[in-house]
Amino acid sequence: MYIRHLQVTDFRSWDHVDVPLEPGPTVLVGQNGRGKTNLLEAIGYVATLSSHRVATDAPLVRQGCERALVRTAVVNEDRELTVELEIAAGRANRARVNRGAVGRPRDVLGILRTVLFSPEDLALVRGDPGERRKFLDELLVQRAPRYAGVRSDYDKVLKQRNALLKSAGKKRGDDPYAASTLDVWDDHLAKAGAQLLAARLNLVADLAPHTGEAYAGVAPDSRPARIAYRSSLGEALPEGYGEPGGERADPERLAEVLRVALGESRAAELERGVSLVGPHRDELDLVLGDTPAKGYASHGESWSFALALRLGSYELLRGEAGGEPVLMLDDVFAELDKRRRARLAEVALGAEQVLVTAAVDEDVPAELTGVRFAVAEGEVTRD
Ligand SMILES: Nc1ncnc2c1ncn2[C@@H]1O[C@H](COP(=O)(O)OP(=O)(O)OP(=O)(O)O)[C@@H](O)[C@H]1O
Ligand SMILES: [Mg+2]
């Protein structure tokens, strides 16, 4: 798939800009702070309904404005769809497809698929487990949009259950009413959690070979890289789940395992007032040779690992139904040595569409000559 047209209004630093795009490589060059990343962020928002830089929508709306508009025309196998999003801080977004309103913004997920590699991705390796869970869940949604609903159901159940644990824990003693209400919420959490957990495990099983291969490609002299899902279920996780070539994770079976685990940890949960088992406590382990990447890997190794996670995601998505994702490389060539640059350029050249940003032309490998835009104060002009 590719984006044929991007239009943004009052998004970040942009009051209004119209950019016609083409398949193949497109390079956006401009000085720091001119709004290059803002454009990729706008595109990423259409694909994921979230920003890779901020957790709330407020900073996305241009200062002094009420709402931002992002419109993309997306071509997927000769079929074109126009997705328009209205982003308003503090209230629900509105979405339109081909100028007609859709039920929920979530309904646009899947129309545009993107993989973005950006300087923020160092946090995938060095940041908290939450960063890696977010990485998995976002990829899950790109892979199958229905997981946006699964994810949000799980978050709701978790919140309610935690509130109940807190209030029941305070009362202490045996409160039969609280106990039976908790039973009900255990059941909800187990069901919703098992859906999410099974999907993550199967994702990691499928992603792991691509990531290992991508890492070997960008850092052939380094120790091999490996990813593995670490579940809060520990030993109770059925054998082979989450492993390449292992048994596919079954949500029904996992719901049962979760139910048992929740029962076993109830006393501890009441004492602490939080849910201690479930996908919200899980981790994606990143391992180099036999040491964890986090806390041990060098800057270059961490950066290569982050790149491998993105390239692995890209390879995974492009090999499945739904349309080849648009690849976006934000300001990443300057950080890489010669060999890594060449490897990334090679992947980029094979992409149906790749959007590259850089502060100066010299940062972009010569092979990636495609369409070039100059990004200057308030305007984008094609060279
Ligand atoms: N909500 C907003 N309203 C107005 N301006 C904003 C808003 N959010 C960010 N900006 C401005 O956008 C600019 C940053 O844009 P962006 O990150 O896209 O730059 P860039 O071209 O990618 O720069 P670099 O080369 O340094 O990465 C900053 O000057 C910032 O002040
Ligand atoms: Mg930038």
Q: Tell the residue nearest (CA) to atom 29 of ligand 1.
A: 33
Looking at residues 162-173, what average pLDDT do you find?
80
Q: For 20-71, what is each residue's pLDDT tens digit?
A: 999 999 999 999 999 999 999 999 999 999 999 999 999 999 999 999 999 9
Q: Which ligand is nearest to the CA of 32?
A: 1
Rounded to two decimals, the pTM is 0.95
pLDDT at 339: 84
Structure confidence at residue 173 (pLDDT): 56
Return the best residue to mutate from 6, 8, 10, 13 for the ligand 1 pocket (most ligand atoms within 8 A of CB): 13
Q: Tokens 């959007």 appear where?
A: 355
**pLDDT (0 to 100) of residue 334:** 87
Confidence of residue 90 (pLDDT cuts 50, 70, 90): confident
Rounded to an integer, the average pLDDT of 162-181 is 79
Between β-strands 326-330 and 353-358, what pairing exists: parallel, antiparallel or unpaired?
parallel
Residue nearest (by alpha carbon) to ligand 1 atom 25: 32
Mean pLDDT on 105-123: 96
Closest CA to 310 of 114, 141, 16: 114
What class does CATH assign to 1-113+322-383? alpha beta
The ligand that comes nearest to the alpha carbon of residue 373 is 1
**Boundaries of every domain in the chain:** 1-113+322-383
Rounded distance, CA 353 to CA 155, Å? 34
Q: Which atom of ligand 1 is nearest to the CA of 41?
A: 18
Q: 13-17, 95-99, 264-268 — which is least confidently predicted?
A: 264-268
**Ligand lying nearest the CA atom of residue 68:** 1
- Nearest-10 crossing angle of helices 176-218, 299-318: 100
In sequence order, the β-bridge partners of residue 354 are 25, 327
Q: What is the mean pLDDT of residues 190-201?
A: 98
Given a contact cutoff of 8 angstroms between Cβ atoms, the answer to whether 359 and 31 are in contact is yes
Q: What is the DSSP letter of 116?
A: E
32 lines ligand 1 (CB under 6 A): yes
At CA 382, angle to CA 380 and CA 383, rounded to 5? 130
172: confidence class by pLDDT, cuts 50, 70, 90: low
What count of residues does the chain have?
383
Atom of ligand 1 nearest to the CA of 60: 1
Structure tokens at 122: 């160092």
Annotated binding residue at 35?
yes
Our answer on whether the CB atom of 34 is closer than 6 Å to any ligand 1 atom is: yes
Ligand 2: centre distance to CA 359 (Å):
8
Kindly state the average pLDDT of the residues 122-148: 97
259 with 187: CB under 8 angstroms? yes
**Mean pLDDT, residues 208-221:** 95
Q: What percent of the chain has pLDDT over 70?
A: 99
Question: How close is the Cα of 333 to the center of ligand 1, in Å?
Answer: 20
Q: Which pLDDT band, with edges at 50, 70 and 90, does 168 fall under?
A: confident
Best CA proximity match to 108, nearest among 99, 120, 117, 116 = 99
Distance 29 CA to ligand 1 centre (A): 14
Backbone torsions φ then ψ of 252, nearest 5 degrees: -65, -45
- Ligand 1 near 63 CB (within 6 A): yes
Q: Is the pLDDT of residue 174 over 70?
A: no
Residue 205 DSSP class: H
> What is the DSSP code (8-state) at residue 209?
H
Lowest-pLDDT range of 170-174, 327-331, 363-367, 369-373: 170-174
Closest residue to atom 8 of ligand 1, CA basis = 12
From atom 7 of ligand 1, which residue's Cα is the shortest distance away?
Answer: 12
**Measuring CA to CA, which residue among 350, 339, 327 is closest to residue 117?**
327
33 lines ligand 1 (CB under 6 A): yes
Residues 282-302 have pLDDT tens digits of 999 999 999 999 999 999 999
Please, is 76 exposed, middle or buried when counting C-beta atoms within 10 Å of its C-beta (0-12, 13-18, 19+)? Answer: middle
Neighbour order of strands in the sheet with 114-117: 114-117, 326-330, 353-358, 24-29, 371-376, 379-382
Per the annotation, does 33 bind a ligand? Answer: yes
Instruction: Tell which one of 37, 65, 356 to mutate to probe ligand 1, the residue whose CB is within 8 A of the most ligand atoms.
Output: 37
Pocket probe for ligand 1: among 6, 11, 12, 54, the residue whose CB has the most ligand atoms within 8 Å is: 12
Report the nearest-CA residue for atom 28 of ligand 1: 33
Number of C-beta neighbours around residue 149 at 10 A: 14
Q: In the predicted model, is pLDDT for residue 171 greater than 80? A: no
Helices (H), the chain: 36-48, 122-126, 129-143, 147-171, 176-218, 251-264, 266-272, 299-318, 338-349
Q: What's the mean pLDDT when you consider all of the chain?
A: 94
Q: Is the CB of 52 under 6 A from ligand 1?
A: no
**29 contacts 42 by C-beta, under 8 angstroms:** no
C-beta separation of 277 from 157 below 8 A: no
Nearest atom in ligand 1 to 38's CA:
18
Q: Which of the 8 DSSP states describes residue 57? A: S
